[in-house]
Amino acid sequence: MRLESSISLLFASLWLFGASGEEGAVCLKILLTNDDGYETVFTNTLFEYLRDKTCHQVVMAAPKGGQSGKSAAIDLFSPVEVGNPSPGVYFADTTPYTATLYGLDVVLPSLGMDSPDLVISGPNEGWNIGVGSLNSGTVAAAASAMQRGLPAIAVSGSLYDPGSKNVKEAALVIAELTVKLVETKLVDEDGGLILAGGQGLNINIPSITNDDTGFVGAVDNYTFKLTKIGSAPVSVGSKFFEDMGESPLVQALAGSVLNGLSGLAIVFPYTAAGYPLDADPNSEGNAIGPVLDITGDRSGEEPLYVVTVSPMEYTLETPASELVQKAFSNPKSDSSSSSSSSSKSSKRGKAAKSNKSPKRKRGKSGDAD
């Protein structure tokens, strides 16, 4: 038997029958994906932690490379390169949404596996908060699983200094926090997952490192708070500039390189980009923290850093407002308004062409012919 076949058989056996964990432990079957690519440190650290430190069974199916900001874009009827670079790790050179479907439709069946108990997208290398989550490939990957009737969570973390020597240590803290959330909050006392099919959570973990001190907080320094996605991002908003040189942040980050060029940039605060203010303290952009000031003093006793946990679903469906309900609640007035509007529009059109007052002929019903 070929080595690859033996490894696949081993994964399938563990997936189907579970692995022996600690007594009383709940062992989940997890499909892991992301939008940063299968080789990124955050996702690989979580994959290895789930595989080596827990009884959970995990398979990764992620994009080949970075796909940030792709939201729910798909590659339809386009050939896609796929690969299996190491046991349990698969990639597809496509969008996060499509890569997740690759995992569900091809990878798991090829291993003789049934549906996962949970899909985890991330951890993303950067937050997906408020209005920014709509553009997120991490969130969209989770949504693609929720559309299939599966529970899913999107996890996002952040580092003040991505080039810090503490990246691997910080990635491990993020992995431990993710597993702690799943095991202590998402599994009930009977061992069942509290998320039903099609339900999900958007999770954002405060920055782990400080670019001044390289501080990495211990898992116990973080607490989970139930929030809502809301509209408030952490600070900046997207705005299209005819000249990107007019953006102070572009000038700070890129100097004059983009001067005279049109494009999408970011401004601070987000309200300066035209987004309405979201002052709700339960919106994740306002709740994450407790402080986002990277110059803050973290010496001495460490505070509790808030990890936001916001419920989400795959659909854009929302209840109709009272005004919308009222507008559509009387079918009779709807038809009469349509006839009146159509008649008025017709009269305006004819009057504009002839500059004469139109003559109206009445039928038996009194309506205009």
CA atoms of 135 and 145, how far apart (whole Å) = 17
Alpha carbon 21 to its chain centroid, in Å, reads 31
Name which of 128, 113, 102 is nearest 38 in CA terms. Answer: 102
- Which of 103-117, 204-218, 304-318 is modeled with the greatest confidence? 103-117
Q: Can you give the pLDDT at residue 19?
A: 47
Omega of the bond leading into 248 within 30 degrees of 0 (cis): no
C-beta separation of 229 from 309 below 8 A: no
Cα(340)–Cα(334) distance, integer angstroms: 10
Residue 123 DSSP symbol:
E
Res 366: pLDDT = 41
Q: Three-class SS of residue 216?
A: coil
CB proximity list for 230: less than 8 A, separation 6 or greater:
130, 278, 280, 282, 283, 284, 285, 286, 310
Strands 263-267 and 237-241: antiparallel
Provide the pLDDT for residue 304: 60
Stretch 301-318: mean pLDDT, rounded? 82
Q: What is the CATH number of domain 3-233+278-318?
A: 3.40.1210.10
- pLDDT exceeds 50 at position 28: yes
State residue 160's pLDDT score: 58
- Indicate the SS3 state at residue 42: helix
**Kindly report the CA angle at 181 between 185 and 208, in degrees rounded to 5?**
150
* C-alpha closest to that of 175 among 272, 298, 367, 34: 34
Question: What does the DSSP assignment read for 143-198?
Answer: HHHHHTT--EEEEEE--S-TTSTTHHHHHHHHHHHHHHHHHHHSB-TTS-BSSPTT
Share of the chain above pLDDT 90, in %: 49
Name the β-bridge partners of 239: 265
Confidence label for 282 from pLDDT (cuts 50, 70 and 90): very high
Contact 213, 300 (CB under 8 A): no
Q: For 67-95, write each residue's pLDDT tens digit.
A: 777 777 778 888 999 999 999 999 999 99
For the chain, give every domain's residue range.
Answer: 3-233+278-318, 235-274, 323-369
* Sign of the Cα pseudo-torsion (340, 346, 349, 354, in order): negative
Residue with the bigger pLDDT between 292 and 120: it is: 120
pLDDT at position 20: 44
Of the listed ranges 44-58, 133-147, 201-215, the one predicted with least confidence: 201-215
The pLDDT of residue 211 is 54
Tell me the pLDDT tens digit for each residue of 93-150. 999 999 999 999 999 999 988 899 999 998 998 899 998 888 898 999 999 999 999 9
pLDDT digits (tens, 9 = 90+) for 212-257: 555 667 888 888 999 999 998 877 888 999 999 888 888 888 888 9
Strands (E), 211-304: 222-226, 237-241, 263-267
